[in-house]
Structure formats: C-alpha cells, structure tokens
Amino acid sequence: MASEPATTVELELEQEQRLVEEAQKGNLDAMRPILERYAAPLYGTVILPRLGDAASAEEVLRDTLATAVEKIRRFTWQGKSIYPWLRQIAINKVYDVHRQSKRSRKLADAMVHEIPAESDPASHADAQLIADQERRAHRDRIDETMQQLQDRYRTAIELRLIQELSREDCARRLGVTIGTFDVLLFRAVRAFRKHFGERAELGPFGDT
Amino acid sequence: MATQDDDTLTGAVPDPETEPSPAELAHARRFAELVDKTLAGRTPPAMSADDRTLLEVATVIRATHGSVELAPSKQRQAVEDALHQAMGTVPTSRGAVVPIARAQARRWAPWVVAGASTLVAAAAIALLWLRTPGAGHANPVARRPAVPEEWTSRSADALVGPIARDHAGDASSRIDTIFADRLDGFRTRRLARGGKP
C-alpha cells in the first residue's frame, strides 16, 4: 500500500541504521532494502500528489533513489528513520521538475515555503507517521475543495475518479446519458481545479 | 475568437444543467477517453496542454485517495535503476532486473578481457622474436640481398678521398665525380634489365 512504509517486512530502526552504516562504508547494495521499503510511500504520498503525472513521478522516484544512494555518505544518523531525508530529496526533485517545466510558478514558490514546514525531522517520530500525516493533509485539502463543488460535480468525481466506476455505471447512477456524464466529469474537474487553485495556490495544476 | 480550448483552464465553469456546445461535448468525450486510458494504466504520451493539466487534477485526486499505486515491477525497476545509476553501471534492459552483485562482476569484465588480450599479444610477439633465426644478433649486412656494390647505397669516401685544405672550396668537382659514379651504376643496372626501368 502506497501510504504504508512497512507493509511486508518490518525493518527495525536498528536494522535500518546498520544498513545505512554499511552503505556509508561503500557497500551500496546495502541500500536496496531501504529503497524497496520506501519507494512506494515516496511515490504515492510525496511525488505523485505533487506532480499528477505518473510517468514523471516514476522518473522523479528513480532520480530520488539514485541521489540517495550517491549521497548516502553525507547522511547523518540522528536516531530517526532515513525516510525524512529521502522525502526531502524527493520534494527537491519535484520542485526542480516544476521549475524546469515552468508549468506553475505559484506552485514552485509555494513549495519552497512548504518544505521546511513539512519536513522538520524533530516533528515526526517515524516514516509511517510522516507518510500518514502527509496522506491525511493531502486528503483534507482535496476533501475541502470537493465540498465547494456543486453536488453533481462532486458526485461525478467520486464515482469516476475515486470509486473508479465505468462511465456507463456512472451515467446510470446519475440517470443521464454517457455523453452527458462525460460533460459533467469534464466540468467537474475544471471546477475542482479552479477551487483548489484559488484556495491553496498549491497543487500541480496552477496557472500556466 | 476565443475557442473552447482557450477557455478550458481560464473560462468560467458552467452549471451542471447548462446545455453543452458541440465543441464542449467533443472535448468532454476526448477527456473521458483519456481518463479511461489513464485508469487502465495506459496514459497516452501525447495530448494537449489543457487536457494534460486536467488529467493531472484527476490523477492527484486519485492518488490522494490511494487509488494510484506503484506497480511492484516498476518499484523493483526504479530501485535497480537507482543502484545502477549510482554505481555507474548500465542496466541491460528495462524489463530484466539484473542482480547488483552480477552487475559488479560485469563492471570488471571489459578490463579482464583487455588484460587477457594484451597478454596473448605479448606472448605472440615474444614467440615470433624467439623463432627468428639469429634474432637479436643478426648482422644487417649479412641479410642484404646479393647485388653488385655499385647498386647499393655506399660511402663516397673511397671515391673522393681525403680533401686537402686548399681544395675545400672545390665541392662542385667532387659532386660531379660522385654523380658520374652513381650514374654509371644506374646505367649498368638499367642495361642489365634490357633498358626497362
């Protein structure tokens, strides 16, 4: 699951520290279990929600993990998980993508202020908590925006994008033709983008 | 004239009950098909900037609700690529995951091949050297083909003899002597071949 850093094998903090120390001594392959453990939460809760594009998110994830391996010697163990450090690298990479594409100056500027607030290591106990907090924060922002939409638009988004029902099923639920449902969803996403941008000036879809 | 596309991101969003224009209907259908493909994991690489922006909105909503996960194969590939990139090696292909231990061995393979080739080449040269008769001690003169002396490159000392100080400035006559001697040798050789060069 994307938001669960420890889904399969529960790596103890001591084990993580041992792997980091081993990698810092030159055995970079020791990073493998750490990368495998944190790739999914980095992708699902840090990178993709800030980019909105799966292909770009995968590239950023790859770059993030490579940078982590290359710079592992610079990492200082502070008795906490390495996850906040990885997350910080990921956010910097996302910021670079937005800056390079110049898609959203507002977003890039906003993220500069967002980084220290969300990645303060002292405010987080472990990777699990960080990922959960981040997921909740994203969801709260999305839900608040959804509440501002007209009922039919909100329903269209919930049915198609969250419940992932087919267009036919969505149209049936709303009692409209598929063509009309397509228009409803199209307008709903446009309305969502407008409200979301106006409210927080955050997200991957600022003014171009 | 402003088109529907121009207004997609900046224009006001109509109420749900507003009748759509044919252009909006077409655009909505195109966007719906993009969403279909994206939900199926087949996001097309090419689309308009407006559609891409709206599709990103849809993806963010889905990602925030946990609907978008990284496939295990893509996760493994990302980890392998990262390790390869950091270690300066190149993955063999996108599909096949190469264990890093084997990749380390591959890193040395070109050097091993180059070293072995160098050794073989050195051994071959040494063998040729040793098998050559009288190698290292041969007299270069002895290996010359047997030809008359006047056909060979040789010193002119015997021809000119010691040069007295008072004849030091008479170089042209010495050159004439040497030229005549060499020309004589050339003629002899030429005539020996029946006048052919």
Domain at A187, CATH number: 1.10.10.10
Same domain, A106 and A162: no
Q: What pLDDT score was predicted for residue B147?
A: 72
CB contact under 8 A, B66 and A2: yes
Same domain, A93 and A157: no
Residue B97: Cβ within 10 Å count: 15
User: Which of chain B's residues have a Cβ under 8 Å away from the Cβ of A167?
Assistant: 32, 36
Is A59 within the bounds of a domain? yes
Q: What are residue B15's phi and psi, to 5 degrees? A: -70, 160
Q: Which of A112, A95, A109 is nearest to A51 (CA)?
A: A95
Distance from CA of B67 to the nearest CA of A (A): 7
Same domain, A106 and A173: no
Is A135 within the bounds of a domain? no
Same domain, A117 and A175: no
Distance from CA of A123 to the nearest CA of B (A): 22
Of the candidates B65, B86, B101, which has its C-beta nearest A139's C-beta? B65
Same domain, A113 and A179: no
Of the candidates A32, A51, A196, which has its C-beta nearest B79's C-beta? A32
Same domain, A59 and A91: yes
Same domain, A120 and A175: no
CB contact under 8 A, B36 and A167: yes
pTM here is: 0.60
Q: How far apart are CA A159 and CA A185, in angstroms?
A: 10
A vs B, Cβ pairs < 8 A, gives 184
Distance from CA of A45 to the nearest CA of B (A): 7
* Domain end position, chosen among A125, A140, A171: A125
- Tell me: the pLDDT tens digits for A173-191? 999 999 999 999 999 999 9
Is A91 within the bounds of a domain? yes
Same domain, A161 and A91: no
- Whether the CB of A187 is below 8 Å from some CB of chain B: the reply is yes
Domain that holds residue A165: 148-208
CB contact under 8 A, B69 and A208: no
- Whether the CB of B90 is below 8 Å from some CB of chain A: the reply is no
Residue B149 is given by DSSP the state G
Distance from CA of B8 to the nearest CA of A (A): 7
* Domain end position, chosen among A93, A125, A157: A125
Q: How far apart are CA A186 and CA A188, in angstroms?
A: 5
ipTM: 0.74
Q: What pLDDT score was predicted for residue A98?
A: 82
The helix-helix angle for B72-87 and A54-70 (nearest 10°) equals 40
CB contact under 8 A, A52 and B63: yes
Question: Coil, strand, or helix at residue B31?
Answer: helix
Is A143 within the bounds of a domain? no
Q: What pLDDT score was predicted for residue A12?
A: 65
pLDDT of chain B along its 197 residues, tens only? 334 444 777 778 888 988 999 999 999 999 999 999 988 888 887 888 888 889 988 988 888 887 777 888 888 988 998 888 877 765 544 444 445 555 555 566 778 888 888 888 998 888 888 876 655 555 555 556 677 777 778 888 877 888 888 888 888 888 888 888 888 877 777 777 666 65
Q: What pLDDT score was predicted for residue B2?
A: 38
Same domain, A171 and A101: no
User: Which of chain A's residues have a Cβ under 8 Å away from the Cβ of B60?
Assistant: 48-49, 52, 142, 203-205
Same domain, A55 and A96: yes
Q: What pLDDT score was predicted for residue B11?
A: 79
Domain at A14, CATH number: 1.10.1740.10
User: Which of chain B's residues have a Cβ under 8 Å away from the Cβ of A44?
Assistant: 63, 66, 68-70
- Tell me: the pLDDT tens digits for B49-64? 888 889 988 988 888 8
pLDDT of chain A along its 208 residues, tens only? 444 455 444 556 888 889 999 999 988 889 999 999 899 989 988 898 888 888 889 999 999 999 999 999 999 888 888 998 999 999 999 988 888 776 555 554 554 445 444 444 444 456 777 777 888 888 888 888 899 999 999 999 999 999 999 999 999 999 999 999 999 999 999 999 888 866 544 444 444 3
Q: How far apart are CA A99 and CA A111, in angstroms?
A: 11
CB contact under 8 A, A208 and B57: no
Same domain, A96 and A198: no
Q: Which of A175, A203, A208 is nearest to A53 (CA)?
A: A203
How many structural domains is chain A composed of?
2
Q: What pLDDT score was predicted for residue B70?
A: 84
**Which of left, alpha, beta for B90 (phi over 0: left; psi -120 to 50: alpha)?**
beta
Is A30 within the bounds of a domain? yes
* Domain parsing of chain B, residue ranges: 21-69, 71-100, 149-192
Is A42 within the bounds of a domain? yes
- Whether the CB of A171 is below 8 Å from some CB of chain B: the reply is no
CB contact under 8 A, B25 and A152: no
Q: What are residue B153's phi and psi, to 5 degrees? A: -75, 130
Residue A5: which H helix or E strand, with range?
none
Is A159 within the bounds of a domain? yes
Same domain, A120 and A152: no
